[in-house]
Each structure stands twice: as C-alpha cells, then as structure tokens.
Amino acid sequence: MERSARSERRWIGLRKWLLAFAVIGLCVYALAFALAPRNHGIEPALFAETARGSSAASHSVQVADAAARKPNIIVILADDLGYGDLGIQGASAIATPSLDRLANDGMRFSDFYASAPICSPSRAGLLTGRYPLRSGIMTAMQAANDTPMRRIMYQLGVVMSHFAAVDMLGGKNAVQGLPQTEITIAESLRGAGYRTMAVGKWHLGDFTELPQYHPFEHGFDEFVGFNASNDDFPVAFWRGDREIVEDIGAEQEQYTRVFTEEAVQFIENSREAPFFLYLAHKDPHLPFFPSDAFAGNSEAGPYGDAVAEFDWSVGQVIETLERLHLEENTLVIVTSDNGPWFDGSAGGLRGRKGQSYEGGFRVPLIAWWPGQVEPGSLSDVPGMNIDFYPTFLKLAGVALPSDRIIDGVDLGPILKGSGADLDSRPLYFFHDYDVEAIRLREWKYFRSTSHGVWPVPLDKSDSLVGKLAGARDYTPKGSDEAIPTLGTWPLLYQIRRDRNESYNVLKKYPELARELGQRLETWRSEFYANPRGWLDH
C-alpha cells in the first residue's frame, strides 16, 4: 500500500515536471515566433545561385550601336555625405570648392535619392539598377568571420527591436554578398569594351573569407580598397586579389589620398579606351581620419575635415580629365550612398541615415559633362541611384538585360535638358524588408514608418512597443474612430512645399492619399510575389 502511494506521488511529480517543461517549451516557441525577424515572406532560398538557371557570368551583352562613340563614365561616391554638406547647397562651415565648381559647370539634382538609407543596400541598387532587396540585401553586410559573441549580440538586437530599443527588425540580409546572378554596371560595360575599376569601399560581401564576392567576380578588371566600412574592424586593405593590410585599425589617414592616386592612375592608363571608374570613398563615414593636410582646418570639426578631403579628391579627378583632354567625352557623377549619420547636415530635411524620411534617402547629385550637360542647370525631377544602370548602358549603346526587371530609368533626357515626363515615375522606399513609402511627383505617401529617430523606433505597429502604444488610443463611446495617443498612419506630405515632412495633409487630400495608397499596395503585392524580379520568356 505504502509502495503504491509513493509510486503515485512520483507519477504525479513527473507529470508536473512534464507539464512544466511543455509550458516552458510552448512559451519559448511562442516567444521565438513572436520575436522572429520580419521578412514579409521573403525566404533566403530565393537568393541561392541555383535558384536561377542563368547567371550574370553567362549574360550576353547586346551592343545596340557598336559604331557610336562611347563616353567614359565615372561615379564618385561619398559615404554618409549629407544633402546640406555642400557649399552650393547651403553649407557654411565646410568649404567645398571642387564640388561647387562642378555643380556650377554641370547639373545639380534637387530631388535625388539613394535606393536605401544605409550603405550596403544602397550600393547594390546603384550597381544593379534594381531595388536592393531584389539582391537579398537590405541592411549593412556583416563580416564573414563574426565571432560567436557578435552573432549573439546581433540576434539580441533583433529581439530588442520588437521592444523598440533598436531598429533591426528585419534581422540579417538574405545573402552574404551580392549574388553572382546579379548583373552590375561593370559587367555590362566590360562586355561592350570598357575597362573597369573599383576603388575604395566595397561592402557587398566580405571577400576576405568569401572570394566569390570580390569585385573581380562582379565585372571589375581592377580593384584597390577595403572589404567593408572603415569601422567594420578588422578592415582589410587590398590591391587586386592580394590582401596588403589585414586590419587598417586607426591608421587610416593615408587612404583618401591612396584611393585618389589609384583613380588618377587608372584614368591615365585608360585614356585610349572607354572606361568605367567606380570611386567609392570612405569619407565622411565615421571614424574620421583626415590626412595631416586637412586635419583641423574645417569649422565643422573632423567630419568637415573629411568632407574637405573628399572635395579635394573630386578636384584631382577633374584636373586629370582636363589635363588629358578627356572632359568632353566623360560623364562624372558625384553622389552619396545615404544621408548623414551622427555628424553632417541633412540640409533641413527630416530624418537621417537609416530612416525613410527625406534626410535618410535624399542625397546630393551632381552630373558634369562639358558640352553635353548645360552648365548651372538644376533638375527637380525625382531620381534614384538605380537610374545609373540604364542611363550608363544607354550612353554606351548597350541593351538592358531582358531576363529581369530593371527598376531604374534612363536619366539621359534630363541630362540633355528635357525628360519632364519622368516626373510621373513613382519611386519606392524600403526599410529592411518592408516597403514603407512611395514618391510620385511632389507627393510622398507613407503606409507606416517610425516617427522616432533611427535607430530607436517607437510607434510603428510591427514592434511590441508600437502595438502597446497604439493600444492606448482612446475610442469614445458610440464612435468607430480612435483618438491616437502617438502618431497616425497613413501619412501624406507635399514634398516641394514641405521638404522637411512636417505636415501630414492626408485629411486635406483624402482622394489623392487613397490613390497613392492603392498604387503602393498594388506594387508591394507584385514585388512580394516576385521579389527577385525574374522575367519568364
């Protein structure tokens, strides 16, 4: 009898433990499900190289007009340069004589955007002509050899994003680097006889560990630069396919000059053939390490010193073109990968790096081409760096790939002084895996966003804090309409009148808001149904 009672008690105790473990397991599973990254159904398997039969390597470049004279093309990309950091755009603490001269002798775009408000996806969009998420890149690329602790901290960041502590709700990129199924400007132009070179920051795959993401694998004949940002330690310096410095650390003062000298040398060596130069500077991304010639000279502190040295570099490139009498056959584009972060001026625009507001996406854009672009001209037609790909291919007489969606459009008519019809082309704004906004002519419509300043989101409803904040909205008795505690959605801004997005005019223009909302939702549905943008033939 006593033995039976003991057995019964043990069985009851075991059942309690089993039940406790089951409850804990269910809670852990529910928590993991609830706190998983938000990827809107976009699975990493979509981006595997085997997910597409053809590859960029097998892409056949079609030259539409082989006899036409092909212009040289140079893209000079700043890192985190703000819209308001140029003298010609209102900066008073930083002198930018080279950039100001370029704008006075060429065309300035007042409403130009990066394809993402952060570095890696913006560069993917620039080089492929496609919204960056089509490449599986929506945030900064991580080092391939991240330590276990850094991996844990990254995952913790995703978890904390649900509590609006940081802004990493999308988690990691779907890929470790720019997929080889993507076709870059360099690949298309090289197939048409161009010499190609990338100089400076790459940040589209850590090729120190994963060589398939080296610029050589994406159409560039030559490369000198970093594998990642100048603060993604350890940061390696490479020449071609050789690692010269394993970690540049704080010894960075020389590299703006090194990159400039390499660019000048490439131009000198390529004068007899058409060339494409992608000069992606580290400046003015933090930490700021200007050379002795510029350190302490700016009234804007170390950031201003870095901008001044970037301006000097632009001047060196222009002087080289003029010395070699190449200026009339060379298009030079100067822009930034996104808006400013901690330092720098967004020029009165709302938001900064990482946000979908204008300050995160809108960047300076100067186009210089003596004899082709009207000096001192200004375009207010909205454009985006995804437009470089079709623009450059058109200038080179190269047909666009026919097996994929190219999201950009040819800006050639604008450079020639027309192109007003491009004003009716919509642009879309991504935040991680989410398509948040649309810009059409003078209007910008948000389906939702975080009103708080990145990287601290607050009231967007896909975070736990956002849901809780929304739950505090008050609904009077007998009413179907809640009175919001914090922000409301959607948002509608009249950008050309309200460039700093201060006034939501949705209630004043409800029909326009509905039209833009429907247009955005239709495009979002089409995008998520075919995120890679492959076309069947």
Known catalytic residues? 119, 203
At residue 377, what are phi and psi to the nearest 5 degrees? -85, 155
Which residues pair with residue 107 across a beta bridge?
367, 377
DSSP 276: E
Q: What region does 528 belong to: left with phi over 0, alpha with psi -120 to 50, or beta?
A: alpha
Number of C-beta neighbours around residue 66 at 10 A: 10
d(CA 10, CA 16): 10
CA dist 72 to 267, 272, 330, Å? 9, 10, 4
d(CA 330, CA 395): 11
d(CA 120, CA 409): 21
CA torsion, ordered 30, 466, 175, 190, to nearest 10 deg:
160
- CB burial of residue 16 (10 Å; 0-12, 13-18, 19+): exposed
CB 437 within 8 A of CB 344: no
CB 408 within 8 A of CB 129: yes
Alpha helix ranges (H) inside 162-273: 185-190, 255-269
Token pair 């999308």 in the structure block, residue: 170
d(CA 316, CA 76): 12
Alpha helix ranges (H) inside 291-348: 301-323
Enter the tokens of residue 285: 């991304």
Residue of 304, 396, 356, 314 whose CA lies nearest to 138: 356
Enter the tokens of residue 113: 């955007």
Enter the tokens of residue 528: 């998520």
Enter the tokens of residue 219: 């159409």
Residue 404 half-sphere exposure toward CB, CA atoms < 13 A: 26
d(CA 496, CA 498): 6
DSSP 403: S
CA dist 461 to 155, 364, 489, Å? 21, 32, 10
Length of the chain (residues): 537
d(CA 341, CA 82): 8
CA dist 372 to 71, 276, 309, 328, 329, Å? 11, 18, 28, 8, 9
CB 336 within 8 A of CB 85: no
